[in-house]
Amino acid sequence: MSDKIDAVLHEERSIAPPTDFARSARYSAEQYRELYAQSLADPDTFWSKAADELHWFRRWDQVLDWQEPHARWFVNGQTNMAYNALDRHVQAGRGDKRAIVWEGEDGEVRTYTYAELLREVQRAANVLESLGVKAGDRVTVYLPLIPEVVISLLACARIGATHSVVFAGFSVSALADRIENAQSRLLITADAGYRRGAQVPLKANADRAAESAPSLQQMLVVARAGAAVEMEPGRDVWWHEAMAQAGTEHQAVPLDSEHPLFVLYTSGSTGKPKGILHTTGGYMVSLHLTTGAVFDLKDDDLLWCTADVGWVTGHSYTVYGPLLNGATVMIYEGAPNQPDWGRYWDIIQRHKVSILYTAPTAIRSFMRAGDEIPERFDLSSLRLIGSVGEPINPEAWMWYRRVIGGDRCPVIDTWWQTETGSIMLTTLPGAFPSKPGTAGLPMFGVDPAIVTRDGEEVGPGEGGLLVLRRPWPSMLRTVYGDDDRYRKTYWGEIPHVYFAGDGARRDSDGYITVMGRVDDVLNVSGHRLGTMEIESALVSHPAVAEAAVVGRPDDVKGECVVAFVLPQVGHTVDPAELRQHVAREIGALARPDAIYVADALPKTRSGKIMRRFLRQVAAGQQITGDTSTLEDPSVLERLQTTPAQ
Ligand code: WTA
């Protein structure tokens, strides 16, 4: 951990919020301070007020029931996420407002008003029910970024089915594992998706995944790309055919506040990806609150969160948060460089996007492509720009503000996780000056601390572990099917606090800078990958006897995957084939950038691989630190002269 913390730049710049923006902002510094203080001193009042802005079929009896590490929020309340995201707005006469502006990679544009989206969701809810899906059943969603993904999620939420979205870039075996773990009975997929002009054969992948996922009984298939697919009679149904027959009336089902809304798999430092479980009421209240506050939402905003719905950012800030607020969202199906690196700017100019929320890895790619590309476009519709997913280096932050934000838009860096469900740390735009590279202050009700391994708080400016000292409404409730792992990973590392797995420090103004993972989780282009997962994929190849994976700093991806492999006796390792193998086992994003074929790995006498040294080898650095615990220190010398392939 200390290598990472020492490596962080000490950034001194501070940029005041633009006066115009501040004048009409939702929160001033004083208002934030007052509300934040209330949220900690009297959470019942604070959260009751936040929840009362939404519709409840039955009001809760108790705001929070906390039996560490298990929380129940808005106890015995009954509500429905889809009702709050759609019906509520239509009933209030806002049915004609645009909910979604969608653009395909091929340039096709589709828009849905709230009334239209509600009709589609009602239809889809009827389709799910006609297929026998009931409240509490799990539905896996493996779709490209098309409107049907939003409709599917909301239809599940409407009937109380728990959705589990699997990113369409994941492989057959990753998909099969997730279907099996969730015991999903239905899979919603498409014939194929588009990525950089090419077709991704989603249905064919789904067919293969189904072979090793016996829980799966049915597939609903969206015709997106006109790809030839095999439909298995009795199991597979075309989305458009089922939708054409379904009625457009559907009553949203009142669900308990703690009814499971979704499972989303994310990587941890050990074992297979874990299914992070989120429930209904608390997640809904946090998303409604944070989207309004952090993005300073106004009625005429067009909010574009560029994340795919396959990740938590897409769940929370493409789908649920904005729709709960009755906002209009921009959704773009494809890659940022399709047909060239001007695509995002072209979309912003044509659709007049006012809020952009994207990831540092994308920002660094744009920077590398050159200022002259965004400079060709009119980006004056933007009024706020945000970042999420990994630490943003101050230079990328400054570039983002200057070139994309025209030195006029506040930049918000937001720290949160799949587990936290909603934004936990940020610098509220208009209220506070921002510091490049620093997320900022806690959101309402969030009680962070920076501590040592023993739970002792460290002083201002000192690095330590980021923990959250009290439960919050959108917190994960458990790891699906493995509550023990939930207890141990999140509430067992440091007594009585939520352990985020990140290193951080807090400055004398209270701003928190999150520096990155302190465990064996990599962050590649803003996506979490466990070293263990990639190592298991590598050793499942017949030519590999043993493997160790570490991250290496990368200018664009933030971190890239470097693998050290020992060949199986009598085999030679072909790095190209091994990369393909990893892409097949997990997905292209896990593909190693460099592979070292080694004759031994640096291990302690007890057999533990010392990844710290491998990180130094991978980065081409001097080996520093105590090597005396290694069983054979000469391994390191040999590795340093081994060429990466
Ligand atoms: C990292 C994405 C620094 C962090 C919403 C965290 C960040 C992990 C930031 C969660 C940020 C996310 N600054 N680091 N603003 N945002 N991270 O679950 O390491 O995909 O633990 O959720 O991303 O990634 P996840």
CA of 71 to the centre of ligand 1 (A): 23
Q: Cα–Cα distance between 427 and 425 in angstroms, integer? A: 7
The pLDDT of residue 7 is 37
Which atom in ligand 1 lies closest to the alpha carbon of residue 515?
Answer: 3
Amino acid at 338: Q
User: pLDDT digits over 124-138, tens only?
Assistant: 999 999 999 999 999
Read off the pLDDT band of 625 (50, 70, 90).
confident
Work out the average pLDDT over 174-197.
95
Task: Answer yes or no: is the C-beta of 318 below 6 A from any ligand 1 atom.
Answer: no
CA of 195 to the centre of ligand 1 (A): 25
442 and 32 in contact (C-beta within 8 Å)? no
- Prior bond of 260 cis (ω within 30°): no
For 341, the token pair is 């690196």
Task: Answer yes or no: is the C-beta of 77 below 6 A from any ligand 1 atom.
Answer: no
222 and 146 in contact (C-beta within 8 Å)? yes
The pLDDT of residue 74 is 99
The DSSP output letter for 547 is E
Asked which of 11-20, 510-519, 582-591 is least confident by mean pLDDT, the reply is 11-20
Work out the average pLDDT over 606-622.
90
The DSSP output letter for 490 is I
Residues 17, 23, 29, 34, Cα dihedral to 10°: -160
Amino acid at 542: P
Is 488 strand, coil or helix? helix
| Protein residue with its CA nearest to atom 12 in ligand 1 | 389
User: pLDDT digits over 344-403, tens only?
Assistant: 999 999 999 999 999 999 999 999 999 999 999 999 999 999 999 999 999 999 999 999
The CA–CA distances, whole Å, from 568 to 191, 395, 539, 546, 641 equal 39, 44, 9, 8, 21
Work out the average pLDDT over 605-630.
88
User: pLDDT digits over 220-267, tens only?
Assistant: 999 999 999 999 999 999 999 999 999 999 999 999 999 999 999 998
Work out the average pLDDT over 43-53.
98
ipTM greater than 0.90:
yes
- Give residue for tokens 């097949």: 584
Above 60 in pLDDT, residue 1?
A: no
Of 307, 476, 576, give the one whose Cα is nearest residue 563: 576
219 and 236 in contact (C-beta within 8 Å)? yes
Q: What does the H/E/C string look like for 90-116?
A: HHHHHCCCEEEEEECCCCCEEEEEHHH
Dihedral sign for Cα 473, 475, 481, 486, please: negative
Q: Cα–Cα distance between 87 and 293 in angstroms, integer? A: 22
Q: How deeply is 575 buried, as exposed, middle or buried, from its count of CB atoms within 10 A (0-12, 13-18, 19+)?
A: middle
CA of 516 to the centre of ligand 1 (A): 8
Helix residue ranges, H only, 213-320: 239-245, 281-294, 312-314
Read off the pLDDT band of 3 (50, 70, 90).
very low
Work out the average pLDDT over 465-494.
97
The CA–CA distances, whole Å, from 309 to 333, 348, 396, 596 equal 10, 20, 25, 34
Residues ≥6 apart with Cβ < 8 Å to 470 = 40, 445, 447
Q: Cα–Cα distance between 278 and 418 in angstroms, integer? A: 9
For 392, the token pair is 């943003």
Is 353 strand, coil or helix? coil
Is 519 strand, coil or helix? coil
| Protein residue with its CA nearest to atom 13 in ligand 1 | 391
The DSSP output letter for 609 is B
* Stronger pLDDT, 268 or 621, i.e. the higher one: 621
For 54, the token pair is 């939404």
Residues ≥6 apart with Cβ < 8 Å to 566 = 544, 545, 546, 547, 597, 598, 599, 600, 601
Which atom in ligand 1 lies closest to the alpha carbon of residue 425?
Answer: 15
Above 60 in pLDDT, residue 6?
A: no
Alpha carbon 356 to its chain centroid, in Å, reads 16
Ligand 1: which of 294, 363, 411, 417 to mutate, judged by most atoms within 8 Å of the beta carbon?
417
Neighbours of 89 (CB within 10 A): 23
Q: Cα–Cα distance between 258 and 267 in angstroms, integer? A: 24
Of 356, 465, 477, give the one whose Cα is nearest residue 414: 356
* pTM (2 d.p.): 0.94
Above 70 in pLDDT, residue 10?
A: no
CA of 234 to the centre of ligand 1 (A): 42
The pLDDT of residue 99 is 98
27 and 430 in contact (C-beta within 8 Å)? yes
Phi/psi of residue 445, nearest 5 degrees: 80, -5
| Protein residue with its CA nearest to atom 3 in ligand 1 | 391
257 and 279 in contact (C-beta within 8 Å)? yes
The secondary element (H helix, E strand) that includes residue 637 is: helix 634-640
Amino acid at 87: D
The pLDDT of residue 332 is 98
Task: Answer yes or no: is the C-beta of 516 below 6 A from any ligand 1 atom.
Answer: yes
- Residue 145's beta-bridge partner residues? none
CA of 128 to the centre of ligand 1 (A): 33
Q: Which residues are annotated as a binding site?
A: 195-198, 313, 337, 389-391, 413-418, 502, 517, 525, 528, 539, 541, 544
Read off the pLDDT band of 532 (50, 70, 90).
confident
Average pLDDT, the chain: 95
For 556, the token pair is 């664009």
The DSSP output letter for 404 is I
Residues 221, 223, 224, 226, Cα dihedral to 10°: 130
The pLDDT of residue 437 is 93
The pLDDT of residue 197 is 84
Phi/psi of residue 409, nearest 5 degrees: -90, 135
